[in-house]
Amino acid sequence: MTKRLDLRVDFAFKSLFGTHGNESILAAFLNAALRFPDEKKIYKVRLLDPHFNKENQEDKRSILDVHAQLEDGSRVNIEIQLNNKHDMEKRTLYYWSKMYSSQMKEGMDYGELCKTITINIVNFRYLSHMHDYHSTFQLYEREQKLLLTDMLEIHFMELPKLLIKWRNKEVDPREDQLVRWLLLLEASEDEEITQVLEEIAMQEDQVLKKAMDEWERVSQDPEVLLAYEARRKALLDEKSALKRAERKGIIKVALGMIQKGIDEETIIELTGLTKEEIQELRRQ
């Protein structure tokens, strides 16, 4: 079997979920992600121009997001993140505001603005205090938990948490369609997941079958592969840079603790550095 693209790479994700002709795949994912009841299920989505942000260098990266409009006018933006830059809450609010305000045209009334939803799929543990892999945030009054408006909806889907539940048999892709679609993003690295999803696709889920067939096809397209490898390398370089910056920060903290005379065991516990690394820092 051909080695398939890693769908956790944003370019590959967009090639499958954000490409014209694959709207039924995106609609199936959104129905699962947004938990719409049967009477409100999405049947049609319209892919929108991803270049709604153009103000700075960071905005230009948003072209790899999947930006779509639902039948009721609601806007949805899906972003997949491999690396934790420790800025997700500010980043997602920024892009939500850009997407919401981009609807406004000259002469338009505020009442015409439509619900705006952002979905963040992250390949790291982000909400450490939350047990579930899928968290949804809206605007509520603090004391009475009264919803101010449903115009804002922000989702976080944490793949590492889902994988733990999968391995512990706490989730079943045969019963939960969101589990099914999120596990698809992990399938390139896991034969067992691939086999289970292929069985589901053959037995009951025609849209999942279409997705897996299309995934197989784009994984053999030379032009797609060239762009995918370039993007994957850029993400790996970014990950290395983030790790270097994180380590420099840890070393700075450890040096400060050494200067304050904090004992070695405490420094090890708080920084994760080894005894040998701390002793080396003491000699500097």
Instruction: Assess whether pLDDT exceeds 90 at residue 271.
Output: no
Residues 125 and 183 in one domain: yes
Q: What is the pLDDT of residue 267?
A: 84
Q: What does the angle CA 175 – CA 194 – CA 70 come to, to the nearest 5 degrees?
A: 60
Residues 212 and 131 in one domain: yes
Domain stop point among 203, 220, 237:
220
Q: What is the pLDDT of residue 58?
A: 54
Give the rounded percent of residues in the chain with a pLDDT score beyond 70: 95
Residues 211 and 255 in one domain: no
Residues 190 and 247 in one domain: no
With 0-12 / 13-18 / 19 or more C-beta atoms within 10 angstroms meaning exposed / middle / buried, residue 242 is middle
Query: Does residue 30 belong to any structural domain of this protein?
Result: yes
Backbone angles phi, psi at 78, to 5 degrees: -115, 125
Q: What is the pLDDT of residue 163?
A: 95
More confident residue, 7 or 260: 7
Number of domains forming the structure of the chain: 2
Q: What is the spatial distance between Cα 193 and Cα 113, in angstroms, rounded to a whole number? A: 40
Residues 230 and 273 in one domain: yes
What six digits make up the tokens of 54? Answer: 């153009």
Residues 182 and 232 in one domain: no
Confidence of residue 183 (pLDDT cuts 50, 70, 90): very high
Domain stop point among 220, 238, 263:
220
Instruction: Assess whether pLDDT exceeds 60 at residue 60.
Output: no
Host domain of residue 270: 222-284
Residues 233 and 120 in one domain: no
Summarize pLDDT for 9-57 with one digit per residue, the tens: 999 999 999 999 999 999 999 999 998 888 888 888 999 876 655 555 5
What six digits make up the tokens of 248? Answer: 């420099």
More confident residue, 1 or 76: 76
Provide the whole-model pTM. 0.83
Instruction: Assess whether pLDDT exceeds 90 at residue 175.
Output: yes
Residues 51 and 94 in one domain: yes
Residues 100 and 235 in one domain: no
Q: What is the pLDDT of residue 50?
A: 67
Q: What is the spatial distance between Cα 276 and Cα 281, in angstroms, rounded to a whole number? A: 9
Q: Say what the alpha-carbon torsion angle 189, 193, 198, 199 is, to the nearest 10 degrees.
A: 160
More confident residue, 146 or 258: 146
Query: Does residue 59 belong to any structural domain of this protein?
Result: yes
Residues 142 and 268 in one domain: no
What six digits make up the tokens of 58? Answer: 């960071």
Instruction: Assess whether pLDDT exceeds 70 at residue 76.
Output: yes
β-bridge mates for residue 67, sequence order: 77
Q: What is the pLDDT of residue 225?
A: 93
Query: Does residue 4 belong to any structural domain of this protein?
Result: no
Query: Does residue 3 belong to any structural domain of this protein?
Result: no
β-strands 147-158, 45-47 pairing: unpaired
Instruction: Assess whether pLDDT exceeds 90 at residue 242.
Output: no
Instruction: Assess whether pLDDT exceeds 90 at residue 154.
Output: yes
Q: What is the pLDDT of residue 52?
A: 56
Query: Does residue 2 belong to any structural domain of this protein?
Result: no
Q: What is the spatial distance between Cα 123 and Cα 8, in angstroms, rounded to a whole number? A: 7
More confident residue, 49 or 171: 171
Confidence of residue 61 (pLDDT cuts 50, 70, 90): low
Please enumerate in sequence order all residues whose Cβ is within 8 A of that of 60, keeping only pairs 6 or more positions apart, or say none. 53, 54
Looking at every residue in the chain, the average pLDDT score rounds to 89
Query: Does residue 167 belong to any structural domain of this protein?
Result: yes
Domain stop point among 164, 189, 220:
220
For 85-89, 99-103, 148-152, 184-188, which range has the lowest pLDDT when averaged over its residues? 85-89
For 30-34, 62-66, 233-237, 253-257, which range has the lowest pLDDT when averaged over its residues? 62-66
Query: Does residue 280 belong to any structural domain of this protein?
Result: yes
For 44-53, 80-89, 207-216, 251-260, which range has the lowest pLDDT when averaged over its residues? 44-53
Q: What is the mean pLDDT of residues 239-258?
A: 84
Q: What is the pLDDT of residue 222?
A: 93
Residues 48 and 126 in one domain: yes
Query: Does residue 5 belong to any structural domain of this protein?
Result: no
Residues 124 and 236 in one domain: no
